[in-house]
Amino acid sequence: MDGSSGLSMDSNTRITGSVSPLTPGPEEVMRYRSPLVSRYASREMAFNFSDSKKFQTWRRLWLWLAQAERSLGLPITEEQIQEMEANLENIDFKMAAEEEKRLRHDVMAHVHTFAHCCPKAAPVIHLGATSCYVGDNTDLIVLRDGFDLLLPKLARVLNRLADFAEKYAEMPTLGFTHYQPAQLTTVGKRACLWLQDLCMDLRNLERARNELRFRGVKGTTGTQASFLQLFDGDHDKVEELDRMVTSMAGFKRAYIVTGQTYSRKVDVEVVSVLASLGATVHKICTDIRLLANLKELEEPFEKEQIGSSAMPYKRNPMRSERCCSLARHLMTLIMNPLQTASVQWFERTLDDSANRRICLAEAFLTADIILSTLQNISEGLVVYPKVIERRIRQELPFMATENIIMAMVKNGGNRQDCHERIRVLSQQAGAVVKQEGGDNDLIFRIQSDSYFAPIHAHLEQLLDPKSFIGRAPQQVLKFLKEEVIPLLSPYQSKMDVKMELEL
């Protein structure tokens, strides 16, 4: 699928690579505004779900329909086409609101508003169409364009974390299972666990985006009866009309069968991949928050940033916390389209309308925010090697006991005797750590025990952290080379965008 709606923000209002709150006017501060738009989301994504884009797209759809109908022989003049084309952006929103209040129908309100500034074209605007011709097709265009905004952002997050993983591919760090000290891994290998989930998300978003089809020109209950009547029973012309408008909108395919609406299972698929992305980001940012507590890793912290109003020393991971907070909201949104899809009676009901206005927009706006924030985090992650080394020294002696036993056996020792001696020394060292709050002194105890004299000279080698990380560095490089880099190839031209946060 390629192409676009042909709509963009005015060049004076476009911001690339930043997240900036929109400055409220006097009236706006007197009523609720969604923080998703007023505080967090990019202007590009906010515009994608704006009334301006929505109703301009409606007019484009009416134009495309008229153009296709004219080319297939209906009595529509070039003058009518030109009049419509000249007024695509000339929307009297006040008039449209008044018309909707009078008619209680948003599409007909805009038909009348468009007709008011296109008096010659008025007879052919919306010819043969139903409300969902503009409503559903616009939604599909907006969803597609929303994916096109998200995908480069997700690719940039992958790119930044891939650089981070490569840089720290060989740096040993304490691994955790059950949030208890486990065997060593590397800082880069841990980042690859994040990357693997994000790779799945990128493929899922690409699939959902590319599998979107156009509703097309289907009529009131999806049978195309009105268009068949317009073309005097010519099925080929009706099919060609559907194909032409689908192509004009930038889609390669339209759904062959629809009711009045496209299947609301489509919305389930769309929000599902975004909710899954939310789960990934929540996991990554939770890891970062835990590592910040351990003082091993920190997200960026501005020079004048305040962590706490009462505790000046604090450096709270507020960006990661924001991602977790919004990711939870994103994950919960999947329940809305699931329930909506399940209660669509026959060819359609209207209880899918009001909630879709909220749910679909919020899913994309929230995903946009968390990706922008995660990119900012990933561009400024700070690693503290000395803290990591200290934690390794605290736990490594226990992990090294098996290596020490094997080395003793190679030097003529008895495995069972050695195991018992180390068990006793380990419990003594553990008591020092847990009961006295001291450092792990197991190695000192081994060095002081003459039984282990045959390996005293080799203890430093046996305790080298890099001998405990297995193939982690090799796994990192292979994973980046074979999975991450190929996946990012289509986005190379969009990588050079640094993300700055203003809030």
Identify the CA nearest to 401 among candidates 432, 431, 422.
422
Measure the N-to-C terminal CA separation of the chain; round to a whole number of Å. 35
Q: Do the Cβ atoms of 364 and 48 come closer than 8 Å?
A: yes
* Active-site residue, 308 included: yes
Q: Which of 11, 178, 309, 493 is catalytic?
A: 178
Q: Per DSSP, which regions of 170-306 are E strands? A: 172-177, 180-186, 297-298
Give the helix ranges, DSSP H, for 221-264: 225-230, 235-248
Q: Do the Cβ atoms of 160 and 379 come closer than 8 Å?
A: yes
Q: Do the Cβ atoms of 362 and 36 come closer than 8 Å?
A: yes
Q: Which of 4, 105, 235, 308 is catalytic?
A: 308
* Active-site residue, 178 included: yes
Q: Do the Cβ atoms of 44 and 142 come closer than 8 Å?
A: no
- Distance, CA of 406 to CA of 432 (rounded, Å): 26
Instruction: Kindly calculate the radius of gyration of the chain based on its CA atoms and give it in whole angstroms.
Output: 31
- Distance, CA of 394 to CA of 403 (rounded, Å): 17
Identify the CA nearest to 173 among candidates 296, 43, 8.
296
DSSP state of 480: I
Q: Do the Cβ atoms of 268 and 336 come closer than 8 Å?
A: no
Cβ-based neighbour number of residue 452 at 10 Å: 21
409 alpha carbon, distance to own chain's centre: 53
**CA-based angle 495:497:498, to the nearest 5?**
125
Q: Which residues belong to the active site?
A: 178, 308
